[in-house]
Amino acid sequence: MLQERGYRLRPRYRPGWKPSWTDTDIHPVYCEDSFTIIHWKILDATRISDGKTVIIKRVPVDSPEGDIAQFLSSPERLLDERNHTVPIFDRFRDDSVPDSEFIVMPLLRLATDPPFAVVSEIVELVRQTLEGLVYMHEQGVAHRDFSWLNIMLDASPMYPTGFHAQMKFLDPTGIHSVRETRRCDLNTVKYYIVDFGLSVRFEESDMVRLVTGVAAQDRNVPELSTSTPYDPFMVDIFTLGNFYLETLIASYSNLNFLTPLAIAMTKRDPKERPTAVEASNLFKDAVENLPGYKLRWRVRDPDDTVISSVISDAQSALREIMYQIKLFLGVSQSNSQLLHWSMSDYSVGNPGNHSSNPTDG
């Protein structure tokens, strides 16, 4: 069925597959076809038309995921650079599985994989996720599960030769280790919002925008209830703020400037939380006056030993010196925009207003 649709599965998942290590003295770990999928509903494949690796997800037909994801990733909406919805390449059904449909998406990685190198990389992640949240809410869509596992990174610019869909530390052959380019050494990377299985879309005419239900990754959302209706847009604010607090700020000791934003977004009373636009403005206020060198500085692990901290800080200082020398000599650094990332030209809710011109901050 998938072959006829234009997608070729890896050898392991083709009819008649025989393990390549059979009758050999090769250990299966060294064979690409020993790599199994992590989740039975998600399968990687090659798009035959261009050789691109894609992800095919099986979705229940009664799930809102297909409709909402396709709505948000329509051609006209994808033209808005604030839209961070995962693109849907294809959507189809097959009579052999009447209870399901299939959606095809790009191969992505978790937003936190690989680990961050410098502060500006995390600042850019926060900027893009807030930007995507503003856009999504403008379209009347509440995600309802906007947390760690549903925030993804298009890492293709970081891995020019690609990476294996199931063993991301290996190249597509599954044999060689990959070497990545740091986010900050690229002009840009893009983060995407995935998995709209719990999402809800409201029409402009809908006067009441409330839901019930307790399903979510983040079990800390205080208002989740099966009986008392709550505002799903404020749930998005909480879960994203809690992602900042527990996954980012708790992991790196020099992100304290983001703490007030995260605390505001995770207030127990939903009415005390900022809207998406207000959260974006809080973020802008938090970072716009940060000196450039702090954005370019390495992220600090709170568990660093004194020796490792001194060594890492020395390396970061050396990179900063080299940056300033290049700046003084007028050497182009356009290929490392995130190293001198600035909020000076960023305006919430205004598409196309995020400057591509590097500044020192």
For 200-233, write each residue's pLDDT tens digit. 999 887 778 999 999 999 999 999 999 999 999 9
Note whether residue 66 is domain-resident.
Answer: yes
Higher-scoring residue by pLDDT: 299, 313: 299
Angle between helices 276-287 and 232-243 (to 10 degrees): 30
Asked whether residue 334 carries a pLDDT value surpassing 70, the answer given is no
Is the pLDDT at 250 greater than 90, yes or no? yes
From residue 31, how far is each of 17, 22, 39 by CA, in Å? Answer: 13, 11, 20
Residue 302 lies in a domain: no
Residue 80: is its pLDDT beyond 50?
yes
> Mean pLDDT throughout 47-74?
96
Give the residue with greater pLDDT, 323 vs 82.
Answer: 82
Residue 325 falls within a domain, yes or no? no
pLDDT value, residue 183: 92
The residues, any chain, with a CB within 8 Å of residue 295's CB and separated by 6 or more, are 118, 119, 120, 123, 287, 339, 340, 341, 361
- 74: phi then psi, degrees, rounded to nearest 5: -65, 155
**What does the pLDDT read at residue 359?**
37
Mean pLDDT calculated for residue range 338-343: 45
- Which of the residue ranges 117-131, 188-202, 283-297 would you say has the lowest mean pLDDT? 283-297
340 vs 2 pLDDT, higher one: 2
Does the residue 318 lie in any domain?
A: no
Q: Which whole number is the average pLDDT over 174-185? A: 90
60 vs 184, higher pLDDT: 60
In a domain, 345, yes or no: no
Question: Greater confidence, 101 or 350?
Answer: 101
- 343 pLDDT more than 60: no
Residue 276: pLDDT over 50: yes
Model confidence at 341, pLDDT cuts 50, 70, 90, reads: very low
- Cα separation of 353 and 204, whole Å? 26
Q: Look up the CATH number of the domain holding residue 217.
A: 1.10.510.10
Q: What is the pLDDT of residue 340?
A: 44
Residue 186 belongs to domain spanning: 2-287
> What is the SS3 assignment for 332-354?
CCHHHHHHHCCCCCCCCCCCCCC
CB 201 within 8 A of CB 68: yes
User: What is the band of 40 on the pLDDT scale with cuts at 50, 70, 90?
Assistant: confident
- The answer as to whether 358 is a domain residue is no
* Strands of the 90-92 sheet, one edge to the other: 7-9, 42-47, 52-60, 100-106, 90-92
Contacts with 37 (C-beta within 8 Å, 6 or more apart), sequence order: 43, 44, 166
User: Mean pLDDT throughout 7-33?
Assistant: 93
Q: Is residue 333 part of a domain?
A: no
Query: Confidence class of residue 345 from pLDDT cuts 50, 70 and 90?
Result: very low
**Mean of the pLDDT values across residues 181-200?**
93
pLDDT band at 355 (very low <50, low <70, confident <90, very high): very low
- Mean pLDDT of the residues in the chain: 89
| pLDDT value at 255 more than 90 | yes
When pLDDT is averaged across residues 171-184 and rounded to a whole number, the result is 91
pLDDT tier, 306 (very low <50, low <70, confident <90, very high otherwise): confident
> With bands split at pLDDT 50, 70 and 90, how would you rate the model's confidence at 24?
very high
Q: What percent of the chain has pLDDT over 90?
A: 73
Q: Please indicate, yes or no, if residue 305 is contained in any of the structural domains.
A: no
Distance CA 91, CA 104 (A): 6
Name the pTM for this structure. Answer: 0.87
Average pLDDT over residues 305-319: 79
Total tally of structural domains belonging to the chain: 1
> What would the pLDDT profile of 44-56 be if each residue is shown by its tens digit?
999 999 999 999 9
- Give residue 356's pLDDT: 37
Is residue 190 predicted with pLDDT exceeding 80?
yes
